[in-house]
Amino acid sequence: MPLNRTDLADFLYFLAIAKHRSFRRAALEMSVTTSALSHAITALEARRGVRLLNRTTRSVTLTAAGEELKASIEGPLAAVSEAAENLNRFRDSPAGRVRINVLEDAVPLVLDPVMPAFVERYPEVEVDISVSNRLIDVTDGGFDAGIRYGGTVPEDMIAQRLSPDIRWLAAASPEYLERHGTPLTPHDLLEHRCVRIRLGNGQIYQWEFEQGEKTVAIAAPGPLTVDASHASIGLGLSGVGIIYGAEPVLRSHIETGALTVVLDDWASMGSGFHAYYSSRRQVPTALRLLIDLIREIRPLAG
């Protein structure tokens, strides 16, 4: 039976399912409904007279025929996809679509200063931004890339630095410090009320401080735990307790006096923002253009 255009489209759907072992995640990557994906695979199997997938309510696995099909077509189709993507280099106006998963802090610090210039320069490029502080597998989630602090980028990913290292501070409202006093050493925090931080992997973050060659990690005590910077800042502004965060995130509130830095001489430096993705091959043009513009504008260079 000769190959037709419907087969080619359905082969792409099949590869997405084979990668994710999930119709829902594959549908998200391919920007179609789960129902449409299911109908396409059913039609492909019917046309070819071969079962490619074993489907249950809990799992999706490949049959022997499915494994052979995957091995045969994923290389050639990847080459076709890369060739199509490379054509953007010859367009007067680059086009394409990129899906990125970004840390909450990266939105105001990295994307907000850059996106006005990006959409003006590349009006035909579509950027789909998902904001989450959870540590997720960007490939498994159907994303082209992620943006995170360098220290949290998975080791098996290709990473590109987007900003210089960032200073991390403890701060509190003047009202809180007037009532409870000002800590003079990191260990003094153990006698204070702190707003704790839950990391994307579910662990409670130990606040890090450094002074010269000395480094200290404090399990900050307190009745409240948050997993988002805006929540921590709101609680700090209300006088609930001492908070901890990236200096650029806290800067505007420090400059107005709404927050006061504590333990300034113990502030630590952390790795800056990085973009990361699974491979140097087939980097979407839209992603490459976005990374290049961030590095050109350098929103955190100051």
pLDDT digits (tens, 9 = 90+) for 133-173: 988 888 888 899 999 999 888 888 899 999 999 999 999 99
Interval 274-289: pLDDT, tens: 999 986 656 788 899 9
pLDDT of residue 235: 97
pLDDT of residue 7: 81
CB 70 within 8 A of CB 260: no
Instruction: Give, to the nearest 10 degrees, the angle between helix 5-20 and helix 34-48.
Output: 120
pLDDT of residue 82: 74
CB 199 within 8 A of CB 205: yes
Name the more confident of 152 and 186. 186
Length of the chain: 302
Non-local CB neighbours of 149 within 8 Å, separated by 6+ positions:
103, 105, 166, 270, 271, 272, 273, 274
Cα separation, 258 vs 162, whole angstroms:
29
Q: Are strands 53-55 and 96-102 parallel, antiparallel or unpaired?
A: unpaired
What SS3 string covers 178-236? HHHCCCCCHHHHHHCCEEEEECCCCCECCEEEEECCEEEEECCCCCEEECCHHHHHHHH
Cα separation, 233 vs 197, whole angstroms:
11
Q: Lowest mean pLDDT: which of 2-6, 130-134, 201-205?
A: 2-6
Q: Return the closest-CA partner of residue 89 out of 275, 294, 286.
A: 286
| Residue at token pair 């494994």 | 67
Burial of residue 193, with CB atoms counted within 10 A of its CB: 0-12 exposed, 13-18 middle, 19 or more buried: middle
Q: Return the closest-CA partner of residue 295 out of 167, 128, 161, 123.
A: 161
Cα separation, 133 vs 136, whole angstroms:
9
pLDDT, average across residues 83-111: 82
Residue 46 Cα to chain centre, angstroms: 39
3-state secondary structure of 14: helix
Interval 200-255: pLDDT, tens: 888 999 999 999 999 999 999 999 999 999 999 999 999 999 999 999 999 999 99
Binned at pLDDT 50, 70 and 90, residue 5 comes out as: confident
Binned at pLDDT 50, 70 and 90, residue 93 comes out as: low
pLDDT of residue 280: 61
Q: Return the closest-CA partner of residue 173 out of 114, 222, 119, 238.
A: 238
Percentage helix, strand, coil for the chain under 3-state DSSP, each rounded to 5: 45, 25, 30
Tokens of 82: 């890369």
Name the more confident of 302 and 171. 171
Q: Return the closest-CA partner of residue 300 out of 253, 248, 233.
A: 248
